[in-house]
Amino acid sequence: MLALEGIKILDLTRVGPGPFCTMILGDLGAGVIKVEAPADAGDRRQVGAFRSPSKEDRREAAFNPIDRNKQSLALNLRSERGREIFYRLALAADVMVEAYRPGVARRLKIDYPALSEINPRIIVCSITGYGQDGPYRDLAGHEVNYTAMAGALNLIGEPGRKPALPLTLVADRGGSAMQAAIGILAAIIARAGTGRGQYIDISSMDSVISLLVWPSISYFYHHVVPERGTTTDQGAYPYYGVYRTKDDKYIAIGCIEPWLWEKFCREIGKEEFIPYHFEPRHLVFPPSDRKWPEITAHLDRLFLTRTRDEWFESLRQKDIPVGKVNSLDEVFADEQVRHRNMLIEIDDPELGRVQQVGIATRLSGTPGKVRSLAPTYGEHTRAILGELGYTEGEISHFYRHKIVA
């Protein structure tokens, strides 16, 4: 048994946080149907309406973990018959996730008020950049914009240099995708008591702000606006930072606790550095004692005397918090990653061995599972329509009139 077995999710999202959210839920057992828009003739990725998927199409889909454990239904929601099909899907669905601009779902007549009339138990989650209300509600954006507006981007990087882009890990993946998944799970639990679904309004900007709990303390309590690269968690102090090594790689040190810093100082033969350890004010105020630059400069020189892996093996044996700054190929070759099954291999009869990232949520009784690789565009359209009770004649009619693909 899987934790979310029996939960049916309609996924209308395309890119960004939505598909990652439904991937998490699908990994835990939910049945996810990707409801995809009809293909444009110029979009080679969407092939169902124009040609059969090639082996390369299938291979490209198979290596996309975002859409694993999902089915693909290509449906024209702008047509009346398309909406009728969607309403039949919604009648038995537990959750619908969408990431349209605010107001689009309402214009398509598939918003929460419309769907809750059909199915009072349905949960609808909307993921947008700035939320369903407020002066920015209609402002276009992506990860870089939301992270910037929320204040996180200004805190990432080195002092005196422009902010560093954190991939799409903050607003999209760690922010709104996770908040959406948490909100959906909470709403499912709440429904067990109320008997009704509810609406979930997820904003990427809100989600990033919610991650800034530590920087917000310095602002609200100390009335200090943190600046990039000036506090402990930004590498301003030598006991918590990244250093270049002899082989032109990097090692990360995290000796915040005084006893760990003492271990490290004794290991490198610099007992005089021991009194200079973490203090709570370092979370707010930049280094002020003149000894800090001296310590940092010494560590800069010291770490250049050995390779990254030599430092890692030496310091880990002394129970000192140390980490290799790995490249992605090194990550998936790492013994811990392999042991924890964060690299999984799926044997496909047509494509052979397919490698993907593993499932991070580890449940002892109902662990997650990759039950199927990502589908090609519209791969399950005919099967899903058949399950909904449509006849072969009706399905052929839908294809001819481009209601489905």
Q: What confidence tens digit (pLDDT) does each residue in 69-122 have? A: 999 999 999 999 999 999 999 999 999 999 999 999 999 999 999 999 999 999
Which of 10, 29, 55, 50 is CA-nearest to residue 378?
Answer: 50
Name the nearest CA neighbour of 303 among 254, 257, 252: 252
pLDDT at 50 over 60: no
Cβ-in-10-Å burial (0-12, 13-18, 19+) of 269 comes to: exposed
- Is residue 43 pLDDT above 50, yes or no? no
Tell me the CATH architecture of domain 232-244+250-324. 2-Layer Sandwich (3.30)
Instruction: Name the superfamily (CATH) of residues 8-211+360-400.
Output: Crotonobetainyl-coa:carnitine coa-transferase; domain 1 (3.40.50.10540)
- For residues 384, 386, 392, 393, the Cα torsion angle rounded to the nearest 10 degrees is -80
- The reply to whether 172 belongs to the active site is yes
- The tokens describing 54, both together, are 């090639």
pLDDT score recorded for residue 326: 98
- What span, in angstroms and rounded, lies between the C-alpha atoms of 195 and 7? 15
Strand ranges for 180-239 from DSSP E: 199-203
* CA atoms of 375 and 45, how far apart (whole Å): 12
Range in 39-53, 243-257, 267-281, 364-378 the model is least confident about: 39-53
d(CA 99, CA 113): 16
Return the pLDDT at 49.
Answer: 41
Give the CB-side neighbour count of residue 286, counting CA atoms within 13 A. 10
* Ranges of each domain in the chain: 8-211+360-400, 232-244+250-324
Q: Would you say 332 and 345 are in contact if contact means Cβ atoms under 8 Å apart?
A: no
pLDDT, position 64 = 94
* Active-site residue (options: 172, 247, 329, 348): 172
Which tokens is 267 given?
């290991």
